[in-house]
Structure 1
Amino acid sequence: MPPTDRFLEIRRDLHSGELLARGGDSEAHSMLQRAGFVAVVRVHETYHRAPADLATDDESRLATDAVARLRAVGYHVDCDEGFDTDSRPASFLPLGASVAHLADRIREAATTDEVAGTLTELTAAHDGVLAALDEVLDATADFYNGLGKAADPYVAQRLRYLSDEHLHAIRTDLSYIRNQLADRHAPHPGRSTCAAEVPPTEQERSAVCACPPPPRTLPAPPPMAAGLRR
């Protein structure tokens, strides 16, 4: 049976009539958000609702689209009859997946140069990921400034504060770390690759590897029986 976090429900609440989606893991939550749902974070659960003031037909289309997307990648979705669909749209890797791939490269890196090269994709001054994020925050702030509600300029100000203070600190620190690693030119002692080669100075030619043996792990002692304790 699939894990429980592969199951979801998308239904109208019997009492309130709200369109709600419940269940699923973080990947499913991302898909619900891309379909148009809004996350509601509670103490004991996170569920999703339709955006406010949507027409009933628009809510039905939103729910049907979410059911199709989730089933297309293997989720088990129970839903109201009106949301059921045989459609299975093609799925594509989201933009965040290419950034997350940088973490995979760092996990596999064996030298400081490799990690420095990967961090450059984040810290590059003109077209790094963090520079692009800075542009997104500024563009969103500009958008809020023209929306017309009394609180909108304050939201825009908050976005610029996040860019100027928090994001700037991340960019500065990470750039410093990247430059430090770029200057070290050192292998990671815990990630060196063994080529199983014998160095030319080795007198014992029957040796197959010059690497030190792995540390010996002693077996854990058996638990003491309760009746033997004093």
Structure 2
Amino acid sequence: MPLADRFLDIRRDPHSDELIARGGDSEAHSVLQRAGFIAVVRVHETYHRAPTGLTKDDESDLAIDAVARLRAAGYHVDCDTDFDTDYRPASYLPLGSSVAHLAERIRQATTTEEAADALTELTAAHDGVLAALGDVLTATADFHDGLGQAADPYIARRLRYLADEHLHIMRTDLADTRNTLADRHAPHPGRSTCTGEVPATERERSAVCACPPPPRTLPAPPPPVAAGLRR
């Protein structure tokens, strides 16, 4: 990770007086979003602003909370004096970390059964991650139905379309992938489990494990010398 991604600025723009947060990596951007900031994606940068309609005091509270959260997560934050704070809130693993753990399980899987078990948590029909995501989309659509602005019914229809079409394709494709892996009962040819044990018959007891050494890669032969260059 570039060191520059550990630094952020949270200040009021001197020209527009808008509260702006700049810098940081994707983890810092998640912290800002959880503090209440809104991401603004441009061609050459992504920065964060306060939601519209807040009072100056509300914006200051937002900035102070973001500074505290970011510093608690180990980021260096430069900010206006009004936003500086020594408060460090407790941090908890977000819900997304549980799903990210599934990716780590698949990266470490050595058999098709292990990969299928991890994918089951995504594709389970009643309480899998994708089923829960569908419930979230539907609930958000229901929320927009009675919200009152002209665009809200369109947003509700769009969310239901995402749940019924795009998410449905993801669920069926991943479920098919999971079922195919569960039927194969095969080890992954490129992965093996190393126990770190040395067999009792090993004469060289300094060996760290019983795994065969990696295959040697022979150096490429030098290119042939052109006939005209020989003497």
| Same fold by TM-score greater than 0.5 | yes
Q: Which residue of the partner structure matches residue 66 of structure 1? A: 66
Q: Which residue of the partner structure matches residue 88 of structure 1? A: 88
Deviation for aligned residue 1:220? 5.9
Q: Which residue of the partner structure matches residue 50 of structure 1? A: 50
Cα 1:222–1:98 change in 2 (3 A) is: farther
Q: Separation in 1 of the partners of 2:153 and 2:99?
A: 31
Deviation for aligned residue 1:141? 0.2
Q: Separation in 2 of the partners of 1:15 and 1:115?
A: 54
Deviation for aligned residue 1:211? 6.8
Q: Which residue of the partner structure matches residue 10 of structure 2? A: 10
Q: Which residue of the partner structure matches residue 114 of structure 1? A: 114
Q: Which residue of the partner structure matches residue 173 of structure 2? A: 173
Q: Which runs of 5+ in 1 are unaligned?
A: 199-203, 224-228
Q: Please show how residues 129-208 of structure 1 align to structure 2 within 5 Å.
A: 129-193=129-193
Deviation for aligned residue 1:221? 7.0
Cα 1:211–1:94 change in 2 (3 A) is: closer
Among the aligned pairs, what percent are the same residue?
76
Please say if 1:19 is aligned against 2:19.
yes
Q: Which residue of the partner structure matches residue 37 of structure 1? A: 37
Q: Deviations over 1:2-49 (max 9, x none)?
A: 811000000000000000000000000000000000000000000000
Q: Which amino acid aligns with 1:123?
A: T
Deviation for aligned residue 1:217? 1.2
Q: Separation in 1 of the partners of 2:180 and 2:120?
A: 12
Q: Which amino acid aligns with 1:72?
A: A
Q: Which amino acid aligns with 1:174?
A: L
State how many pairs are aligned. Answer: 218
- When structure 1 is superposed on structure 2, of 188-197 and 22-31 the one drifting more is 188-197
Deviation for aligned residue 1:216? 1.7
Deviation for aligned residue 1:158? 0.3
Q: Which residue of the partner structure matches residue 101 of structure 2? A: 101
Deviation for aligned residue 1:53? 1.0
Please say if 1:28 is aligned against 2:28.
yes
Deviation for aligned residue 1:215? 2.4
Q: Separation in 2 of the partners of 1:58 and 1:220?
A: 66
Q: Separation in 1 of the partners of 2:86 and 2:202?
A: 67
Deviation for aligned residue 1:214? 2.9
Q: Which residue of the partner structure matches residue 76 of structure 1? A: 76
Q: Deviations over 1:41-67 (max 9, x none)?
A: 000000000001111100000000000
Q: Which amino acid aligns with 1:92?
A: Y
Q: Which amino acid aligns with 1:23?
A: G
Deviation for aligned residue 1:73? 1.2
Q: Which runs of 5+ in 2 are unaligned?
A: 224-228
Cα 1:154–1:220 change in 2 (3 A) is: same
